[in-house]
Amino acid sequence: MQSRVPLTRYLIEKQRKQQCIDDDLRLLIEVVARACKAISAYVSKGELGNILGSTNSTNVQGEVQKKLDILSNEILLDATEWGGHLAGLASEEMEKPYSIPKEYPRGKYLLLFDPLDGSSNIDVNISVGTIFSVLQHTGDNQEVDEGSFLQPGYKQVMAGYTLYGPSTQMMLTLGDGVDAFTLHKEHGTFMLTERGVKIPEETQEYAINMSYQRHWYPPMTRYVQELLAGETGPRGKNFNMRWVASMVADVHRLLTRGGVFIYPRDQRDPSAKGRLRLMYEANPMSFIVEQAGGMSTNGLQRMMDIQPEELHERVAVFMGSKKEIEVVTRYHQEYAAQQSD
Ligand code: P6P
């Protein structure tokens, strides 16, 4: 029987063949995967783990922190700060970047993560996930500050996520395609389960939170009304809707069978650029989606070309099956052009 390839062997063989990964990055991926295994174990304890529910603290986003948000953040810090591969790291759960303690050697990579995305679903036992992204620290031996992280998404050297669902699955890209791993819980090992994940260019499935429809800008309303018109409308085919309210779960579905995931900005706050975070949600997911043959924009431009201005800045998100994202992005570009005339 052809035995499954474990993550360690996959990384060693990738380093040997393709050189798109060095020792430090290989170790970083291993220890992030190990942290995700620990988070998976806590998440699956549910009520029995005494770690559900909220704390009485809020994060920089102004969101009440779940106990598991804080625990997952600590697990990722403990797993990565000592390895000598990081110059610094940043997290959705920490206002400022985390400097590597003086007792540890510093490396050339910057790690960004959302330790437990979708954590509002935790208390109702719905899938959540960890999203991670790696940049190069370009400041040589300079101290890491917020500016060190403010690099456009195309500078990422690695991105991935781990979905804590019925099975625990990890998606990984190093810029040469997307490969999928499934956690063998008895062995405690991520096993390669799919090479070269590809998103179908066409789709009939969309993920949007429809409850904000009355606040949308016209191009978003136009796009969704055409989807709802189905085969009787200009699109000439019927569409189906899904919304988990956990980005990792919604994006994993479109990677697996096609679809679009959209979280637009809306008119409730014209100054707001969107809801989701650029650096550790939209950019890593965009890297994965593009590497799988999909497309990702903020409605007006390629997501990974955006020059970040703040570590926790938010952005509108349109990602998934290429042909569909081209349509919705064109509608937004046409609207923006009319507004500027
Ligand atoms: P809403 C989870 O909090 C999250 O950041 C994403 O994972 C998810 O797609 C979105 O927010 C859900 O937002 O407005 O539907 O609760």
| Domain boundaries defined on the chain | 5-194, 205-340
Residue nearest to atom 9 of ligand 1 (CA): 247
pLDDT in tens, 311-330: 999 999 999 999 999 999 99
Q: Could you tell me the distance, in angstroms and rounded to a whole number, from the CA of residue 105 to the centre of ligand 1? A: 36
What's the confidence (pLDDT) of residue 141? 66
Coil, strand or helix at 99: strand
Q: Could you tell me the distance, in angstroms and rounded to a whole number, from the CA of residue 245 to the centre of ligand 1? A: 5
What's the confidence (pLDDT) of residue 32? 98
Percentage above 70 pLDDT, the chain: 98
What's the confidence (pLDDT) of residue 316? 98
Burial of 230 (0-12, 13-18, 19+ CB in 10 A): middle
The model's pTM: 0.96
Domain 5-194 matches domain 205-340 at the CATH topology level: no
Q: Does the pLDDT of residue 133 top 80, yes or no? A: yes
Residue range 205-340, CATH number: 3.40.190.80
Q: Could you tell me the distance, in angstroms and rounded to a whole number, from the CA of residue 121 to the centre of ligand 1? A: 9
Residue 95 structure tokens: 């206002």
Q: Could you tell me the distance, in angstroms and rounded to a whole number, from the CA of residue 5 to the centre of ligand 1? A: 34
Q: Could you tell me the distance, in angstroms and rounded to a whole number, from the CA of residue 249 to the centre of ligand 1? A: 11
Which residue spans within 77-188 are E strands per DSSP?
Answer: 86-91, 98-99, 109-117, 128-136, 158-164, 168-173, 178-184
Cα 52 from Cα 43, distance rounded (Å): 9
Closest alpha carbon to 117 in 103, 108, 127? 127
CB contact at 8 A, 341 and 335: no
Ligand 1 pocket list (CB less than 6 A): 117-118, 120, 209, 245-247, 250, 276
Residue nearest to atom 16 of ligand 1 (CA): 245
CATH (one of 3.40.50.720, 1.10.287.3610, 3.30.540.10, 3.30.360.10) for 5-194: 3.30.540.10
Pocket test for ligand 1, best of 163, 206, 263 (most atoms within 8 A of CB): 263
CB contact at 8 A, 265 and 274: yes
Alpha-carbon distances of 251 from 76, 205, 254, 281, rounded to whole Å: 22, 12, 5, 11
Angle at 328 between CA 324 and CA 334, to 5 degrees: 140
pLDDT mean over 143-163 = 96
Q: Could you tell me the distance, in angstroms and rounded to a whole number, from the CA of residue 118 to the centre of ligand 1? A: 6
What's the confidence (pLDDT) of residue 67? 86
Closest alpha carbon to 207 in 178, 226, 236, 227? 227
Q: Which atom of ligand 1 is nearest the CA belonging to 117?
A: 7
Pocket test for ligand 1, best of 113, 116, 121, 209 (most atoms within 8 A of CB): 209
Q: Could you tell me the distance, in angstroms and rounded to a whole number, from the CA of residue 18 to the centre of ligand 1? A: 37
Task: Name the packing angle between helices 322-340 and 218-229 (round to 10°).
Answer: 140
pLDDT in tens, 60-94: 777 777 789 999 999 999 999 999 999 999 999 99
